[in-house]
Structure 1
Amino acid sequence: WEKGSYVHLTAYDDYWQDGRPYLDDIYFRIIPDAASRALAMETGDADISQFGNIEPFDVPRLSKLPNLELTTKGYEMFAPMAWIEMNTRKPPLNDRRFRQAIMYALDREFIRDNIFFGLGRVATGPINSVTTQYTPDVQKYPHDPEKAKALLDDMGLEPGSDGVRANVEFLVMPYGEVWTRLAEYIKQAMGKVGVQVTLRSTDSAGWAQQLSNWDYQMTNDYVYQYGHPALGVARTYISDNIRKGVLFSNTMGYSNEKVDELFAKAAVENDDAKREQMYAEVQKILAKDVPVAWLLEMEFPTLLNKRVHNAVTTAIGTSDNFADVWVEPKQ
Structure 2
Amino acid sequence: MRRAVALLALLAAPAAAQPRDTLTIGITQYPSTFHPNIENMAAKSYVLGFARRPLTAYGADWRLTCLACETLPTLENGLAERETTPDGKAGIRVTFRLREGTRWGDGTPVTAEDLRFAWEAGREAATGFGPAEFYRSAYELIVVDPRTVTLRFDRVTFEYASMGDFQPLPAHVERARWQADPRAYRTRTAYDTETTNPALWNGPYRITAVQPGASITLERNAAWAGAAPHFRRITIRTVENTPALEAQLLAGQVDMIAGELGLPIEQAIALERRTGNRFRFLYQPGLIYEHMDLRHDHVALGDRRVRQALLMATDRAQITERLFGGRQPVAHSSVNPLDPMHDPQVRQWPFDLARARALLDEAGWTPGPDGIRRNAAGERLSLEFMTTAGNRAREQVQQVLQGMWRQAGIEARIRNEPPRVFFAETLSRRRFQGLALFAWISAPESVPRSSLHSDEIPREERNWSGQNYGGFRNAEMDVLTHTIPEQLDAAQRREMWRRLQAIYAEELPAIPLWFRADAHVWPTWLDGVRPTGHLNASPLWAEEWRAR
Q: Please tell me the TM-score bracket, short chain as reference.
A: 0.7 to 0.9
Following superposition, the deviation at residue 47 of structure 1 comes to: 2.6
1:45-86 CA-to-partner distances (Å, cap 9, x unmatched) read: 43321123224453123223221121123x74xx22111111
Following superposition, the deviation at residue 163 of structure 1 comes to: 2.5
Counterpart residue identity of residue 223, structure 1: W
In the alignment, is residue 101 of structure 1 matched against residue 309 of structure 2? yes
Write the distance in 1 (CA, Å) between the matches of 2:331 and 2:486.
26
Write the distance in 2 (CA, Å) between the matches of 1:200 and 1:61.
28
Matched residue, 1:58? 267
SS in 2 for 1:303: strand
In the alignment, is residue 86 of structure 1 matched against residue 294 of structure 2? yes
SS in 1 for 2:366: coil
Following superposition, the deviation at residue 302 of structure 1 comes to: 0.7
Matched residue, 1:242? 457
Matched residue, 2:220? 10
- Superposition TM-score, scaled by structure 1 size: 0.87
Counterpart residue identity of residue 383, structure 2: E
SS in 1 for 2:503: helix
In the alignment, is residue 136 of structure 1 matched against residue 344 of structure 2? yes
Write the distance in 1 (CA, Å) between the matches of 2:440 and 2:532.
20
Write the distance in 2 (CA, Å) between the matches of 1:312 and 1:305.
14
Write the distance in 2 (CA, Å) between the matches of 1:103 and 1:33.
28
Write the distance in 2 (CA, Å) between the matches of 1:275 and 1:115.
36
1:208-249 CA-to-partner distances (Å, cap 9, x unmatched) read: 43332344122212212222232xx22211111112253761
Alignment of 1:1-331 (within 5 A): 1=209, 3=211, 4-10=214-220, 15-17=225-227, 20-50=228-258, 51-64=260-273, 65=275, 66-73=277-284, 76=286, 79-166=287-374, 167-175=381-389, 176-204=391-419, 207-208=422-423, 209-211=425-427, 212-230=429-447, 233-244=448-459, 246=464, 249-312=467-530, 314-315=532-533, 316=536, 318-328=538-548
Write the distance in 2 (CA, Å) between the matches of 1:142 and 1:180.
23
Write the distance in 2 (CA, Å) between the matches of 1:244 and 1:185.
33
Following superposition, the deviation at residue 140 of structure 1 comes to: 0.6
Deviates more, 1:92-101 or 1:63-72: 63-72
Deviates more, 1:42-51 or 1:138-147: 42-51
Instruction: Indicate how the Cα distance of structure 1 residues 168 and 319 shifts in structure 2: closer, same or farther if over 3 A, else same.
Output: farther
Following superposition, the deviation at residue 129 of structure 1 comes to: 2.0
Instruction: Indicate how the Cα distance of structure 1 residues 168 and 210 shifts in structure 2: closer, same or farther if over 3 A, else same.
Output: farther
CA contact (8 A) 1:63 1:303 kept: no
SS in 2 for 1:80: strand
1:160-208 CA-to-partner distances (Å, cap 9, x unmatched) read: 3332224222232134222222222221111011112222344446534
Query: Which ranges in structure 2 are unaligned for 5 or more consecutive residues?
Result: 1-208, 375-380
Query: Which ranges in structure 1 are unaligned for 5 or more consecutive residues?
Result: none
Instruction: Indicate how the Cα distance of structure 1 residues 149 and 103 shifts in structure 2: closer, same or farther if over 3 A, else same.
Output: same
Aligned residue pair count: 321
Following superposition, the deviation at residue 264 of structure 1 comes to: 1.1
Write the distance in 2 (CA, Å) between the matches of 1:170 and 1:11.
45
Larger Rg: 2
SS in 2 for 1:207: helix
SS in 2 for 1:300: strand
Counterpart residue identity of residue 193, structure 1: A
Instruction: Indicate how the Cα distance of structure 1 residues 114 and 170 shifts in structure 2: closer, same or farther if over 3 A, else same.
Output: farther
Write the distance in 2 (CA, Å) between the matches of 1:235 and 1:13.
35
Instruction: Indicate how the Cα distance of structure 1 residues 149 and 30 shifts in structure 2: closer, same or farther if over 3 A, else same.
Output: closer
SS in 1 for 2:280: strand
Question: In angstroms, what is the RMSD of aligned CA positions?
Answer: 2.5
Write the distance in 1 (CA, Å) between the matches of 2:215 and 2:531.
28
Aligned residues with identical type, % of pairs:
18
